[in-house]
Structure 1
């Protein structure tokens, strides 16, 4: 018979404590070592611990770290979690002094510091991958700045633009998404250490020093908020969700464009799988993998955010342990999707023959004919629209492109206005050509080359600014890690 008064209950041990212990081993053991070292340094610098006690604890911590292989540990229930395992080892070597390291701290402030440290590295890796994707988008946009494509609205061919213009639009969204992730990274850069359980400590701790030693920009100010406010979680995963929701729309376009009936996008053989039975099939299945990876990322990120719904504003397991670890799967699928898309975009090409055929069949340049009639024939836009609509309807009925529509145009113009048009055939052809359509649209943000080149310069500047922010964080954290190592080693030698 099981003694149900003895902690932990076997089922609780197997369903909760053992999985959490495994998670700590995998994700947090190194970060816990850094917190232990930094906290010991701070306690000594503030004279909360004597020099001799600090030396003993420092030396013993080093010994425990050297002798312990977290991966080899199996949860037995002897210690509630990994934190208590380390403390038990300290006490085994030092007796009661082993418990002195926990002076002025709690598992509460330690946990959220551990979670932030674990999220920092993942977030920086994801941001770096998205920068690589942004660079690939910009390079491809510049290379394809004059490559015609058909832009679609409501599932129908709409107007001509360029592949470079399309990718520039996607890049703008990506840069805004990286900016949101940068803001979320800022939420990870404030240290909870020193909040202790919820109200700080009666000891003269130095919270700023703890933040500095662990590579944070500064402490998170309100101690209650250090353990209750989980906006660093919800903000981060919301930013991740939005990024891959937006990339998923781009990916879906690639699926549509590569369809046989559309044929606008050519996917090279290295990114195409063949059918096991149908010899003619070229299946660009990496697009489908990117789409489901983007969707999985959105779902995993949303699961973390939703778990915070209707939870109390205090310390709670809903924001800790398994929820944190569950969220890491979102980073995994996000990284895989972004890496694949970073390779995919430079590799694809536009099938210009199919693009022109689709443009001709759908009369996608007809808007410029209407605009030309407003400018050159002094028609109102509604009059010009009626003429252009009549021409498009007749040309499509004939199964021809607009190049063959001059006579249909002159007839429609006379019917609408009661006079002869001043546009000769050459002027008409210029008005309905895709190149002329695009060249006319030289407004900020338009597809004409001057406007697009100006936009490229802005994107390059914005990318550089965002990279500088990340570089500054990474440099600060690397310097902090070296400083902690040095001051901890000095402590052992005191």
Structure 2
């Protein structure tokens, strides 16, 4: 019999009961539900709504349930409507009438909003920790490859020389923004909805500030109707997770390209590669491809959440039961992707010789040749035109700019001198790109140190909140 069934004359249809039930999803929040119930009971005792004796029995019962679930002595009853009803029914079975008093001055509406926020706050902390570990790995890879020259691309065409360290650090910047977004999301959801009731609070003299302190929220929510119907924080976290997955997907795309026979910039470790069922020679970047593919399901979860919320009137609607499956799936997906991606990057081999060889091709030093002429006094547009003519000349003769003699250079401009060869040397080109944020080893070292300080600042600020 359902706890709410006294108003009804008929039992809920079995199919409708299964359709209505959510315990197969929300069972994950059992720790948060029990912790929230202990805080609620503590507050009820302190304001005189329940007795000390009732509280002691409730507290002892809830802790025994928690212990039994943790030890797998108590299994979830999948016939229960949800995790809240399961725990309350189990509590009443264990302690009797005091268990029936736990729900005083509380609705499942504010209870579930509290559970979801507590669960997601904990998960955000885990995701931030996993992101920090991945960033540490990427920074380590960057520090080992400060002098590893590779071609930089625009439109997937060879553009200008950079270093592998600079390229990898671009993703570190993306992931550091992801941490910042997750912290912002955490701070916005760090408000306690407990005490809002179904939508209009209660006539009992409850103390929402006490439960806020007991449950480590920053403050109570300001409006009871918004408190139980708000799922902005679920949508926001889905977006933040989608951004992390987007960044991992972009990086996975590059790893897939770099690991190809056409590029051979990197070699993935055997422990993060798979083979073919028919082609013995194959070594496939399946981990990178799967991460790239799993990003789409996370994006779908975001859109599903936005569509779920967009048409709901105030305040609580049963539709909101559907918010958890999407966000739980997004969290679980990102957690495993971060773990796999970290291991994949940590174990890959960088083929620096192949990167340098590729960088020598495709007239990657053409911009620097134009800059050379500008420094010799030629207006940039004239220098650009001369360089373009030289590139065309080299293409016709299947030569690189470095292969031309000084006499050939002078056919196009009398500004050329013997020092042009030093100026278009790849190592020289990189060493001169010292602008803050640039790819020179010197600039990347500064970038790494500044990034470390920034991320430490983010983490320290988050821990202090």
TM normalised by structure 1 equals 0.85
Alignment of 1:139-288 (within 5 A): 139-288=140-289
Which residue of structure 2 aligns with residue 23 of structure 1?
25
Shift of 1:5: 5.7
The question of whether the paired residues in 1 share the 8 Å contact of 2:234 and 2:327 is answered with no
Structure 1: give runs of 5+ residues left out of the alignment: 414-419, 474-494
1:232/1:137 Cα in 2 relative to 1: closer, same or farther (>3 Å)? same
What residue is the counterpart of 2:396 in the other structure? Answer: 397
Choose the corresponding residue for 2:437, options 408, 427, 445.
445
State yes or no: 1:337 paired with 2:337: yes
Q: CA deviation at 1:361?
A: 2.7
1:387-432 CA distances to partner (integer Å, 9 max, x unpaired)?
Answer: 111112222332232221234322122xxxxxx23511xx121121
Q: Give how far 1:10 is off.
A: 1.6
Q: Is the 8 A contact 1:388 1:409 kept in 2?
A: no
- 2:4 aligns with none
CA separation in 1, counterparts of 2:278 and 2:85? 59
CA apart distance, 1:336: 1.6
**Quick one: distance in 2 between partners of 1:63 and 1:248?**
44
Q: Which piece of structure 1 moves more, 302-311 or 8-17?
A: 302-311
Per the alignment, residue 3 of structure 2 pairs with none
Quickly say closer, same or farther: Cα 1:399–1:270, change in 2 above 3 A.
farther
The superposition leaves residues 301-360 of structure 1 with CA deviations (integer Å, 9 ceiling, x where unpaired) of 33333322222242122223x430332111122112111221222333433333333233
Segment drifting more, 201-210 vs 104-113: 201-210
Task: Return the offset for 1:11.
Answer: 1.4
Distance 1:7 1:436 in 2: 81
Preserved contact between residue 160 and residue 438 of structure 1 (Cα < 8 Å): yes
Q: 1:9 aligns with which of 10, 13, 17?
A: 13
Cα deviation for residue 107 of structure 1 reads: 0.9
Q: Is the 8 A contact 1:237 1:305 kept in 2?
A: no
Higher helix share: 1
Bigger Cα displacement from structure 2, 348-357 vs 231-240 = 348-357
Alpha-carbon distance in 1 for matches of 2:354, 2:87: 66
Determine if the alignment matches structure 1 residue 122 to structure 2 residue 109: no
Q: How far does residue 451 in structure 1 lie from its aligned partner after superposition?
A: 1.8
Q: 1:194 and 1:255 mapped to 2: Cα distance?
A: 51
Deviates more, 1:310-319 or 1:327-336: 310-319
Q: Helix, strand or coil: the match of 2:204?
A: coil
Measured in 2, the distance between the counterparts of 1:67 and 1:280 equals 52
1-structure distance, mates of 2:453, 2:460:
11
Shift of 1:30: 2.1
Alignment pair present for 1:373 and 2:373 = yes
Is 1:296 the counterpart of 2:297? The answer is: yes
CA offsets 1:179-208 (integer angstroms, 9 cap, x no match): 011111113321111111112222221111
The answer (yes or no) to whether the contact 1:124–1:470 under 8 Å persists in 2 is no
The total of aligned residue pairs comes to 455
Query: What SS does the corresponding residue of 2:450 show, helix, strand or coil?
Result: helix
Tell me how large the CA RMSD over aligned residues is. Answer: 2.4
Whole-Å Cα distance in 1 between the matches of residues 87 and 342 of structure 2?
Answer: 42
The structure-2 alpha-carbon separation of the partners of 1:276 and 1:84, relative to structure 1 and needing over 3 Å to count, comes to closer
Q: Secondary structure at the match of 1:249?
A: helix
- Of 387, 395, 415, the match for 1:421: 415
Say if 1:370 and 1:388, in contact at 8 Å, map to a contact too.
Answer: yes
Give the match's secondary structure for 1:49. coil
Corresponding position of 2:410: 410
Q: How far, CA to CA, are the matches of 2:265 and 2:92 in structure 1? A: 69
Q: Partners in 1 of 2:90 and 2:452 — Cα distance?
A: 53
Aligned to 1:463: 455
2:62 and 2:159 map into 1 onto residues whose CA distance is: 67
Distance in 2 of aligned mates of 1:61 and 1:293 = 38
Q: CA deviation at 1:170?
A: 1.2
Displacement of 1:465 after TM fit?
Answer: 1.5
2:386 is matched with 387
Partner SS for 1:101: coil
Task: Measure the CA separation in 2 of the matches of 1:70 and 1:316.
Answer: 34
Matches of 2:361 and 2:59, distance apart in 1: 77
How far, CA to CA, are the matches of 2:287 and 2:65 in structure 1?
Answer: 47
Provide the rounded CA distance (Å) in 2 between the counterparts of 1:241 and 1:133: 17
- Kept in 2, the 8 Å contact 1:395–1:408? The answer is no
Other-structure match for 2:136: 135
Counterparts of 1:212 and 1:309, CA distance in 2: 32
TM-score between the two structures when normalised by the length of structure 2: 0.90
Structure 2 stretches lacking a partner, 5+ long: 1-7
